[in-house]
Structure 1
Amino acid sequence: MNVNNRTTGQHLTPYAAEAVPQSNSVAGKENMFMRLMLEQMTHQDPSNPTDSNQMANQFAQMAQTESLTTVAKLLNANNMLMDNLQTLSTANLVGKQVMVQSDSVDLKNQPIEARITLKNPASVVTLHLKDKQGTDHTISLGKLPVGQNGFSLDPQKNGLPAGKYTLSIVTDTGEKSPTIELAGTVNTVRISPADGQILLDINGLGDVPYDRITQFGPAHGKPAHSF
């Protein structure tokens, strides 16, 4: 018996392989798989029949792979949509005041509003401002309760020259790195060309990442303390 144009086991005939159309769509791939399976069953060796369970498993794996690929594409599209919506929403912040978590400030001649959050009440709280030359300027904030404590700082009144300073808070309780927030007005919103991050140019703070904003709008009420 001549079997030159047939294969044994699970191999297709050359003509069958050439007849199968190629497609990148899910429906096309499923159709291709079904035709391959039918060709394989038609030309199988009776003494070594195709394992139907194996074929079913292969079909299930293909369907699962296609489903996961579709889900991944949908998630990626959703993330891009959310990023675009966030960018559009931040554009509305131009000219608005926000509170930003920061450990640095660029002082001018105008007073600034700030807020610190303490986990424990402290009898002695000191604000440290270190300039570019390394000079440490200290301002006593006095006794402060637990929680948020707002205050305003007048650079001229405290003899602080205009320039950039790093900020830190020291308490008599030894609390580590209390949170410092500064108020400022958003001048512009831009997207970093390097990593696509949304940056807000804020008075006295420079470019600030969007995720460092802690409050939209000015601090509530008047500062409890003025220095």
Structure 2
Amino acid sequence: MQTTSSTTTNTRTQTGDSRPAANTSAMSDMFTTLLVAQIKNQDPLAPSDPSQFVNQLAQLSQTEALQNLASLTSNNATVLQSMQMLALGAQVGSNVMVESDSVTLGKTAVQGTVTLQNATTSATLVLTGANGVKHSIALGSNAAGEVPFSIDPKALGLPEGRYSMHVDTASGETPMIALAGKLNSVKLTAEGALLNVDNAGMVTPSAILSFNGQSAAASN
């Protein structure tokens, strides 16, 4: 059964790869047929300008080149997507930092950082629940750089659920928020890869800021 499946896959791949060449060949044959018909049926007393045929051939060559380039680009994109999936799949179980403007709270504390481009005399992490109620976590006065924070649902009296996040600063800056979490799975969709990360939910690969390796417990 495995041999049959492999053969079917290879046949489909070969068929898919031959389509651009087949289309180009068909177009070339059709152009040649039309060109020959045009030459045969031209008025002997007022023959067509030979430069017209040269221009037509040049246009055909350009069209074929563009088709081949489009096919090559598509194939390369497919290969790169497959390589990305393999690379991301190998990172499942790793601890990551992911950019996010929302957080899913459970029973355990969530760690994260706020990246300030400028110093500020005060910064406040604001969480807004599904009911619209806001909860503030003071981050104090900070210099430019990464400012760590912790969201402890039990200590803050926050019920489990999804919260949107933003940071208010005295400087008026809207800094980036990153959450720490474990990469649980990688899913391929029509729009591209989606990563399931603890605390952040489903994110795109571009949201991942760093891979921090697996914890000792996970490795064992």
Give TM-score, length-normalised by structure 1: 0.75
Q: Aligned residues: percent identity?
A: 36
**Counterpart selection for 1:184 from 166, 173, 181:** 181
1:1-227 alignment runs, 5 A limit? 26=24, 41=39, 44-175=42-173, 177-192=174-189, 195-217=190-212
Secondary structure at 2:165 match in 1: strand
CA positional deviation for 1:33: 5.2
CA positional deviation for 1:162: 2.5
Secondary structure at 1:61 match in 2: helix
Unaligned 5+ residue runs, structure 2?
A: 1-20, 214-220
Q: Which segment is superposed worse, 76-85 or 207-216?
A: 207-216
Distance 1:66 1:217, change over 3 A: same
Aligned counterpart, 2:7: none
CA positional deviation for 1:158: 2.6
**Contact 2:179–2:199, Cα closer than 8 Å, also in 1:** no
Give TM-score, length-normalised by structure 2: 0.77
CA positional deviation for 1:114: 0.5
Counting matched residue pairs gives 193
How many Å separate the matches in 2 of 1:31 and 1:132?
Answer: 63
CA positional deviation for 1:125: 1.0
Task: Tell me the amino acid that sits aligned with residue 75 of structure 2.
Answer: A
Distance 1:79 1:148, change over 3 A: same
C-alpha distance after superposition, 1:129-167 (max 9, x if no partner): 122222211111111111222233322223323222111
How many Å separate the matches in 1 of 2:66 and 2:78?
Answer: 18
Higher Rg of the two aligned structures: 1
How many Å separate the matches in 1 of 2:153 and 2:133?
Answer: 15
How many Å separate the matches in 2 of 1:66 and 1:171?
Answer: 57
